[in-house]
Amino acid sequence: MTRSSRRLTRLLAAATVATTLAACGGGDDGGGGGGGGGGENEASDVGITEDTIKLGAHYPLTGVAAPGYSEIPTGVQAYFDHVNANGGVYDRQIEYVYRDDAYNPTNTSAVVNQLVLEDEVFAVVGGLGTPTHSAVLEFLNSERVPDLFVSSGSRLWGETPEDYPYTFGWQTDYVSEGKILGQYIAENLPDAKVGLFLQDDDLGADGESGLREYIDDQIVEVQSYVPGNTDVGPQIAALQAAGADVVVGFNVPSYTALSQLVSLRLGYQPQWFYSNVGSDPTLVGSLLANFSQGQVTDATLLDGAITTEYFPGTDSPDDPWVQMFQQIWDEQGQEGELTTFRLYGMAQAYTTVQALQAAGQNPTRDDLVAAIEQVGADWEGPLFAPFRYSEDSHMGTSGMRVVQVAGAAVEELTPVLTTDLGDAEIEESDREAATPPENGIPDEEAAD
Amino acid sequence: MQQFVNVTLTGLISGSVYAAFALALVLIWRSTRIVNFAQGSMAAATSFIALALIQAGQSYWLALVVALASGFVIGAVIERVVIRPVEGGPELNAVIVTLGLFVAIQALIAIVFGSSFESFPAPFGLRGFTVGETTIALTPNSIYVLVAVVLTMAGLIALFRFTRLGLAMRASAFGQEVARLLGVRVGRMLTLGWALAAVVGSLSGLLIAGGGLVYPAYMDALIVFGFVAAVLGGLDSPVGAVVGGLTIGLALSYVSAYLDPALVNLAALVILMVVLLVRPGGLFASSTARRA
Amino acid sequence: MTQPPDTPVVSTGEISSEAPVQATAAANAPTASAGGGRSFLPANTLLRHLLVLVACAVGAVVLLEITDPFTNSQLAQLTYYAIAAGGLTVLTGLNGQISLGHGALMAVGAYTTALMLDADEPLPLPVVLLAAVALATVVGALVGVAAARLHGPYLAGATLALAVGLPGLAVYYGDLFGGEQGLRVRAPRAPESFESFIDLVSGNPPSATKWLAYVGTICLLITFFLLANLVRSRIGRTWRAVRDQEVAAELAGINLGAWRVLAFVVSAACAGLAGGVLALVVRLAAPSGFTLVLSLALLTAIVIGGLGSLVGVLLGSALLVFLPPFVTDLGADLGLNSTEAAQLAPFVYGLVLVVVMIFAPAGVVGTIRMRWLTARARRAARGAGS
């Protein structure tokens, strides 16, 4: 037990939150260790005052990557507003600053400099994109700024915590997703000829490496597209020519719609698999819906496509978590519908609040990191599978389930499966679905 | 074989849209000796106007007419208000002005219409025709695109070749002083050139949008390839623009299918360099290369 | 660094009949700078530039030490824009060739730097940066040979294709260049002498950000010193001759092509250095950092400030760095949410370009110079009349 966390425990003993009090009863009541007056909020580190805590993020709000992704921070904001309206975290209001990097690493570097050096945020939360966030990985770690829950499934964010001790992943990594999809195909479609449709970056490469763990010999054709070039006709034509009757796409949503349109044009009808990043049936459906008003007679082009989920999306409106977030969005959100992008942001904000609670009443930046390593793996929330956080891994959630799109909803094909990088086995998750808290705010004890 | 046919058809369709866009650039170049980098943003703006109408329940064709008309107005207004002061000045200043417009208009679209992806309906079917057993990448909508581009090109050629108006526009572009002495209202001709170009640009924007996704920056790739196509053909030549557009469209489609999609932009560079090294004024340059 | 403390880098001499009515006004200035009668600086060009260099260096240190760390990082950004734009203003302002492709040349420098620093035992930083310059120079020479034959929009088109085409190589050879994700750059640590220097000067903490800002500033000062001398040498005069009097220059035995290539090579060298600094400051070399937007930004910097003027380059680069955050913050203060405020920045940026070009077509420096010259001419006329 570190000095600072002992101090935290003692501070918490006087905290007003009933459950935290209960927790401390069983814990250490604090011996020597760091000082700190009982129960008063202090400005314990950069970005924290007695009544505020400042968090920052970078997202593409303008430019090519803005569509869709720019909605995520509005979800985060709505959730933080909800928490603030209910007293904040340890009576601190969360100030959330997000800045535009236009999905350009040069800009990311500039805006994260601004967040850290000028806005003086306590932590960066949910920075989006692999190339963009790569640009600030070194900087955030050298400045010792917690870099939580990066919005990307690259393994950079968690595979080597010894190199980047302040950075944490959040969503299921693309390798694990590839493995889970690969196993599903190997078991259920063992004779299929598989074609891959990949984005030409880590999304595609990691996904492919996961898939090859299981269906290396079934893959007959690999085609990749470069983000920004919207003409994927040649790629789909090549998959068709190779005779692939199953196509697995590791791509972003717009390219799901594009690949469907091109396939329609080519009369190509394989069994489609899409990675979670690219599937979102509601979004893709709404993209394609406009065409159905025109001449596409089949309203749900995506019907029957198989994908994965690691948190309930807008396609599961009956899920209690979705209902909870829907209610919060209706009360706090800006204009517009609750989309899966916004849900993503809200779920991420939920995890962030869990982390802040676990870090204790007057945390330092290091306390926050220590708390996530210590108790992050036990958190329950909207995500189906637990996080893999520990001192040895900062990888995010470990699993997902395979689902099939049916109209505007999805049907489960497998239970929640968990796995890890490398040759880790795929196992069924034994965790029960968590029940959302009454007031929509998690209630984590401070780690000790 | 099927793949080759489909790749070719895909290239042909995108090439024809590049050609339409290149035509718009050529029009402006001919009338004012300016390369209009804002063309893409202007076209995107009109596409969003059309989309707003369609989403409000109007028909595609009404939206098309309104979009083209608004393109005409936007083109004319921009020439009068923003371009006129820099016309005849240093070439770079005009370039910077159009770049500024490009950025500003694109941001304005994002502010007004938001920056999410929207699907843009197509007036005709999006399913490929079936020949025997196989489906080819030719849809009723792509035939519409091809026909629209061909008609536009024919119309422009007719305008410049056979009408007094076209003659006056050409005269204003090539020799302002002389044209003015001969009673041509040069200023009006220049405005008209921009307005017409904006209409053609808007049309290419609508054509590429139909059956695809639009967002504020969706015309960016078209600016690059359209410009390359126009330069390839020789900026003065409408026929060159069309040939350039089709060449680029086909070549990039083949590169994307048979080499690597990462090399598409590089291929555009190589093609352009090879052509320009042999003919520094483009494929269809008039006998003396113009020194701008 | 921003505008140096003493502005007359382009000291004005007798500009007689050469009426500065075009954007090239600022570019013309150095032609006549030799006998600046009123200048308090020495008449010898090299000596004068050395003095200015020292003054600028002192000014830069003061500026970097009185500003906060975030401004330091913005100034570091400014240095790589200014270095590349400095080269470009020589190419475009002095030699008259337009290039929309300098972002690609910066990419060459950035990737060279990233790869060399990635070695197990990286070479010293100056060597790495020199290698970045060398490689960009080679690529620049190749492009320059092709570009020398082209004019106006054809040159613009070719260089535009270069800007969008070259980064594709980084994706195609993904194993070497890291594909879309690019290469992360581990900037070498600051030497101890730097820490003691900062301690001596201001006692500020010698952070990595500060160190990189200093690296950028040193590169910037060296580049501008060399460029300033170059444009005032015989080479600079020849370039202007090639730009303004093509036929006359050719008749005078000047090989137009060779001189154009040389101009391209010089500007490519600057772009290479700028790319190296960018890689250090941004800590990454990735294709998405070298989009067409970067090339266009450089062009903006040289035209807004005043074509051909190094001071103008600094002003233009400052605009690129400081305007967007300023507008975004302004928007946020006006009650817009972050998304709306973010959209506001490119809008205002675009408008500024248009407005400056309409109302001050010679750029900021050019316009001020023109005003000043007009006023002086009037004074002179009055003096002669009385």
Q: What is the mean pLDDT of residues C368-375?
A: 84
In a shared domain, residues A190 and A304: yes
In a shared domain, residues A159 and A20: yes
What is d(CA B232, CA B25) in angstroms, rounded to the nearest whole number? 12
Asked if A66 and B215 come within 8 Å (Cβ–Cβ), the reply is yes
Query: Which of A327-331, B201-205, C291-295 is predicted least confidently?
Result: C291-295
Tell me the range of A191-205, A219-233, C239-253, C339-353 where mean pLDDT is highest: A191-205
In a shared domain, residues A235 and A200: yes
Express each pLDDT in B242-292 by its tens digit.
899 999 999 999 998 888 888 888 888 888 888 888 887 788 766 444 444
* pLDDT value of position B44: 93
CB-based burial, B81-118: b 16+ in 10 Å, e otherwise: ebbbbbbebbbbbbbbbbbbbbbbbbbbbbbebbbbbb
Nearest CA in chain C to A61: C339
- The answer, for B134 touching chain A at a CB cutoff of 8 Å, is yes
Dihedral sign of CA atoms B256, B262, B268, B269 in order: negative
End-to-end CA distance of chain A: 7
What is d(CA C290, CA C275) in angstroms, rounded to the nearest whole number? 10
Express each pLDDT in B172-213 by its tens digit.
877 777 888 888 888 888 888 899 999 999 999 999 888 888
Asked if C166 and B292 come within 8 Å (Cβ–Cβ), the reply is no
- What is the per-residue DSSP string for B184-231? --HHHHHHHHHHHHHHHHHHHHHHHHTTEEE-TTTTHHHHHHHHHHHH
What's the gap between Cα A307 and its chain centre? 16
Mutation choice for A interface testing from B127, B258, B259 by most A CBs within 10 A: B127
What is d(CA C324, CA C349) in angstroms, rounded to the nearest whole number? 7
- What is the per-residue DSSP string for chain B? -HHHHHHHHHHHHHHHHHHHHHHHHHHHHHHHS---TTHHHHHHHHHHHHHHHHHTT--HHHHHHHHHHHHHHHHHHHIIIIIGGGTTS-HHHHHHHHHHHHHHHHHHHHHHH-SS-EEE--SS--SPPEETTEE-S--HHHHHHHHHHHHHHHHHHHHHHH-HHHHHHHHHHH-HHHHHHTT--HHHHHHHHHHHHHHHHHHHHHHHHTTEEE-TTTTHHHHHHHHHHHHHH-TT-HHHHHHHHHHHHHHHHHIIIII-GGGHHHHHHHHHHHHHHH-TT-TT--SSPP--
Tokens 């240095």 belong to which residue?
C79
CB-CB neighbors (< 8 A) of A261 in chain B: 126, 211-212
In a shared domain, residues A296 and A334: no
CB atoms within 10 A of CB B274: 11
Express each pLDDT in B207-224 by its tens digit.
988 888 888 888 887 888
- In the predicted model, is pLDDT for residue A3 greater than 70? no
pLDDT: is C19 or B183 the higher one?
Answer: B183
* pLDDT value of position A300: 58
Residue of A352, C289, A262, A350 lying closest to B6 (CA atoms): A262
- In the predicted model, is pLDDT for residue C10 greater than 80? no
Domain contains A213? yes
End-of-domain residue from the set A268, A292, A309? A309
Asked if B115 and A291 come within 8 Å (Cβ–Cβ), the reply is no
Percent of chain A scoring above 70 in pLDDT: 86
Q: What is the mean pLDDT of residues B135-147?
A: 85
In a shared domain, residues A293 and A229: yes
- In the predicted model, is pLDDT for residue A299 greater than 80? no
* Average pLDDT of chain C, as a whole number: 81
**Which member of B137, B215, B221 has the closest CB to residue A233?**
B137
Q: Between residues 30 and 59 of chain B, which touch chain C (CB distance below 8 Å)?
A: 35
* pLDDT value of position C42: 67
Give the domain ranges of chain C. 25-32+44-291
The alpha-carbon gap from C299 to the nearest alpha carbon of chain B, in Å, equals 8
pLDDT category of residue C35 using cuts at 50, 70 and 90:
very low
Amino acid in position C4: P
End-of-domain residue from the set A384, A415, A437? A384
Q: Which two tokens stand for residue B292?
A: 């701008």
* Average pLDDT of chain B, as a whole number: 85
- In the predicted model, is pLDDT for residue C77 greater than 80? yes
Residue B19 contacts residue B229 (beta carbons within 8 Å): yes
Residue of A131, A126, A114 lying closest to A70 (CA atoms): A126
- In the predicted model, is pLDDT for residue A23 greater than 60? no
* pLDDT value of position C343: 80
Would you list which residues of chain A are within 8 Å, Cβ to Cβ, of chain B? 61-64, 66-68, 70-71, 200, 224-226, 228-231, 233-235, 237-238, 240-241, 253-254, 257-258, 261-262, 264-268, 286-291, 293-296
Domain count, chain A: 2
End-to-end CA distance of chain B: 45
CB-CB neighbors (< 8 A) of B254 in chain A: 234
DSSP A319: S
Express each pLDDT in B94-128 by its tens digit.
888 888 898 899 889 988 887 777 888 888 877 77
In a shared domain, residues A182 and A154: no
Q: What is the mean pLDDT of residues A302-318?
A: 85
pLDDT: is C380 or A347 the higher one?
Answer: A347
What is d(CA A253, CA C302) in angstroms, rounded to the nearest whole number? 39
What is d(CA A210, CA A169) in angstroms, rounded to the nearest whole number? 18
Residue A326 sits at the vertex; the CA angle it makes with A60 and A102, to the nearest 5 degrees, is: 0
Q: How many CB pairs under 8 A join B and C?
A: 160
- In the predicted model, is pLDDT for residue C32 greater than 50? no
Domain contains A422? no
CATH number for the domain harbouring residue A203: 3.40.50.2300
- In the predicted model, is pLDDT for residue A66 greater than 50? yes
Tokens 């100030």 belong to which residue?
A95
pLDDT category of residue B57 using cuts at 50, 70 and 90:
confident
What is d(CA A383, CA A364) in angstroms, rounded to the nearest whole number? 27
Domain contains A414? no
Residues forming a β-bridge with A148: A125
Residue A147 contacts residue A168 (beta carbons within 8 Å): yes
* pLDDT value of position C385: 60
Domain contains A427? no
What is d(CA C8, CA A327) in angstroms, rounded to the nearest whole number? 64
In a shared domain, residues A224 and A373: no
Percent of chain C scoring above 90 in pLDDT: 21
pLDDT: is A328 or B282 the higher one?
Answer: A328
Residue B102 sits at the vertex; the CA angle it makes with B98 and B103, to the nearest 5 degrees, is: 125
End-of-domain residue from the set A309, A338, A361? A309
Maximal CA-CA distance, chain A = 75
**B186-209 and B220-233 are packed helices; what angle lies between their axes, rounded to 10 degrees?**
120
- Subunits in contact with chain A (3 or more CB pairs closer than 8 Å): B, C
Asked if B217 and A64 come within 8 Å (Cβ–Cβ), the reply is yes
Residue A265 contacts residue B137 (beta carbons within 8 Å): yes
Residue A49 sits at the vertex; the CA angle it makes with A44 and A53, to the nearest 5 degrees, is: 95
In a shared domain, residues A44 and A102: yes
In a shared domain, residues A167 and A277: no
Burial (CB < 10 A; 0-12, 13-18, 19+), residue C197, is middle
pLDDT category of residue A58 using cuts at 50, 70 and 90:
very high
* pLDDT value of position A281: 67
* pLDDT value of position B48: 94
Residue A40 contacts residue A14 (beta carbons within 8 Å): no
* pLDDT value of position A36: 38
* pLDDT value of position C141: 92
Parent domain of A186: 174-309
The alpha-carbon gap from C291 to the nearest alpha carbon of chain A, in Å, equals 9
* pLDDT value of position A184: 92
Asked if B261 and A71 come within 8 Å (Cβ–Cβ), the reply is no
Asked if B86 and C351 come within 8 Å (Cβ–Cβ), the reply is no
Express each pLDDT in C86-139 by its tens digit.
999 988 888 888 888 899 999 999 999 999 998 888 888 899 999 999 999 999
- In the predicted model, is pLDDT for residue B6 greater than 90? no
Q: How many CB pairs under 8 A join A and C?
A: 112
Phi, psi of B212 (to 5 degrees): -135, -165
CB-CB neighbors (< 8 A) of C335 in chain A: none
* Average pLDDT of chain A, as a whole number: 82
* pLDDT value of position B167: 83
Query: Which of B247-256, C27-36, C258-267 is predicted least confidently?
Result: C27-36
* pLDDT value of position C115: 92
In a shared domain, residues A241 and A328: no
H or E element, residue A95: strand A93-100
* pLDDT value of position A291: 61
Express each pLDDT in C176-224 by its tens digit.
888 777 888 887 888 888 888 888 887 777 788 888 899 999 999 999 9
Q: Which two tokens stand for residue B132?
A: 């025997």
CB-CB neighbors (< 8 A) of A334 in chain C: 337
Asked if C209 and A113 come within 8 Å (Cβ–Cβ), the reply is yes
Q: How many CB pairs under 8 A join A and B?
A: 140
- Subunits in contact with chain B (3 or more CB pairs closer than 8 Å): A, C
- In the predicted model, is pLDDT for residue C30 greater than 70? no
**Which member of A109, A226, A227 has the closest CB to residue C282?**
A109
- The answer, for C180 touching chain A at a CB cutoff of 8 Å, is yes
pLDDT: is C49 or A19 the higher one?
Answer: C49
- What is the per-residue DSSP string for A21-68? HHHHHHS----SS----TT-----STTB-SSEEEEEEEE--SSTTHHH
What is d(CA B108, CA B105) in angstroms, rounded to the nearest whole number? 5
Percent of chain A scoring above 90 in pLDDT: 31
Contacts of residue A125, defined as CB under 8 A and 6 or more positions apart, other chains included, come to A55, A56, A57, A76, A148, A149, A348, A349, A352
How many residues does the structure list for chain A? 448
End-to-end CA distance of chain C: 45
**Which member of C149, C151, C351 has the closest CB to residue B100?**
C351
Secondary structure class of C229 (helix, strand, coil): helix
In a shared domain, residues A147 and A19: yes
- In the predicted model, is pLDDT for residue A159 greater than 80? yes
In a shared domain, residues A326 and A302: no
Q: Which two tokens stand for residue C205?
A: 């903490």
CB-CB neighbors (< 8 A) of B100 in chain C: 349-354, 357
pLDDT: is A257 or C26 the higher one?
Answer: A257
